Structure 1
């Protein structure tokens, strides 16, 4: 299906879902705000609805949750990645699961899967923060290849990254030639709060079928790298490319007894310095970091009647970790967020439908 048709279908489906109340289909978004502007989180962002319908549910024996990333599939469905090494396909209208496939590394071991891109040939690019890595999978979960990763970004002692602080974000820029992964935390030697964004450039020409089943190095080669400064106490957990080539970036943190902080930024790679050969980033070394503009603090959104299982600044908040741009409506981006419940009793699998005017 052509991309424009896919986005149109998905946008229509989500719009329909937001009109369904909590008594509707299992995955339908609920808690819809009124039409008088009371759903504004900021001048640039409004929340249309949320849904907890998938929280603590199962599908064909598999736990539905632990979601770390979202992407729009080529047929308009929602691909939802669990960090417990599985990939779900969700209905774009109801968000109900349609299928699930397991993922594994080259030795058959499970992944700490965090970032997701559906490529133009419908294969899936999945980042893991264990090594870290970016692997390519078929729709059925078959491992097809693996992309190169700079040595410095590997987890210590192999590199300078901290465990559980690597490739949390993954997105493909418009045109499909540039892939970008975001580190959640800083490298050893870099100033705390400055994280690296690594890119890959797609090789010229079309890969043959045999190339697609190689080790992935014929797909993409390493590209530029950039520095991005997160807010104090927050980590970069997701990035999604906008149609004009900028990035929506989610920053998230958690304070026991207080709850989550989740902020949505617009970031611009233009004019940022390529930090590939910059050993340490201090923020005062003449290196131009990626520019960012705050779009909204999700705590400032109306709660829409949401409840929280633990203290939160706003009961709407949870451990938000996944994000996808699902279409456009009258110049605004339609954005879907999801929280990672960590399969725990005090957290919720919650989907959020936002409208963003960057």
Structure 2
């Protein structure tokens, strides 16, 4: 079997396992972005969509992804709505509005699911992680320590959240630097624990975290430059090797180096496949051990941006 035929066979197997994206305009066979990362397809099935009967919500501003206990996909809108997606078609099947303990909407950014189904949602305005039950009712909150929360900059607070291991610590990332910190350093807050510092590539902020299942964290770093477009890096952090509270980091790929797969963009993008990638979750593993990862871009409810899903294979370096 040729290498091309083997790759085609692998993609067919993944599709049969329910990992295929929804409708896509990809017309070019995928090739790796780096030795560790390959975007195998993309889908614009959610772009411009609305969902609901008596009340309609735009399926937009998606900033977080997670897999529920039953295998359904959860997509979090920063407009305080949690959508459930069919894991095969990626179509929305339900919508749950989220409010905090006072009944106010959230500036929701990241989501993770604990073993009992509890949803952990970061709120950028509250600078906290809120716990919700499956019906969308608030069950509690994880507050950021005052020495971190009091120095957080507006609109640069909590973004990604992950459960590092079953029953293990919850980790949430600050998007930007704290007042008084080295401007190149970001704080990762943990419950329990003292947290860590993390240094993304220069000029990039942290937008999302996902646990790899072996104690490490995938990290999305990104920025936007007008007239140029989005820069999106996928990195790996290893808490087990932290020194003096600093997380070691390995760059896995600059997603701008990935093939465009025939994608188009309405705004200027060096790679038309990219947009404002903010959400990420791990779907599972392939038969050869690669992580099956799903990314989503936040369109900021801007008609010149795109809500796009990306299916990604990530081959982790040895731990």
> TM-score, structure 2 length as denominator?
0.90
Q: Secondary structure at the match of 1:224?
A: coil
CA distance in 1, matches of 2:37, 2:16: 17
CA gap of 1:172–1:32, structure 2 versus 1, over 3 A, is farther
Q: Partner residue of 2:292?
A: 334
Assess if the C-alpha contact under 8 Å between 2:25 and 2:262 holds in 1.
Answer: no
Q: Partner residue of 2:233?
A: 263
Assess if the C-alpha contact under 8 Å between 1:153 and 1:166 holds in 2.
Answer: no
Q: Which moved more, 1:247-256 or 1:115-124?
A: 115-124
Assess if the C-alpha contact under 8 Å between 1:11 and 1:327 holds in 2.
Answer: no
Q: Partner residue of 1:177?
A: 168
Q: Partner residue of 2:5?
A: none
Per-residue deviation at 1:189?
0.7
Q: Secondary structure at the match of 1:147?
A: strand
Assess if the C-alpha contact under 8 Å between 2:127 and 2:143 holds in 1.
Answer: no
Structure 2 residue 187 is matched with structure 1 residue 196: yes
CA distance in 2, matches of 1:138, 1:175: 18
Assess if the C-alpha contact under 8 Å between 1:10 and 1:77 holds in 2.
Answer: no
> TM-score, structure 1 length as denominator?
0.81
Choose from 259, 262, 265 the match for 1:305: 262
Q: Partner residue of 1:215?
A: none
Structure 2 residue 251 is matched with structure 1 residue 294: yes
Which 5+ residue runs of structure 2 have no aligned equivalent? 1-12
**Cα deviation per residue 1:27-64 (whole Å; 9 max; x = unaligned)?**
44552653xxx421111111110011210110111101
Count of residue pairs brought into register by the alignment? 300
Per-residue deviation at 1:173?
1.1
Correspondence list, 1:214-293, <5 A: 223-273=193-243, 287=244, 289-293=246-250
Q: CA RMSD in A?
A: 1.7
CA distance in 1, matches of 2:306, 2:43: 10
Per-residue deviation at 1:122?
1.0
CA distance in 2, matches of 1:249, 1:184: 11
CA distance in 2, matches of 1:226, 1:29: 39
Choose from 42, 45, 56 the match for 2:48: 56
CA distance in 1, matches of 2:58, 2:211: 29
Correspondence list, 1:81-96, <5 A: 81-96=76-91
Which portions of structure 1, spanning 4 or more consecutive aligned residues, are displaced by more than 3 angstroms?
Answer: 8-11, 27-30
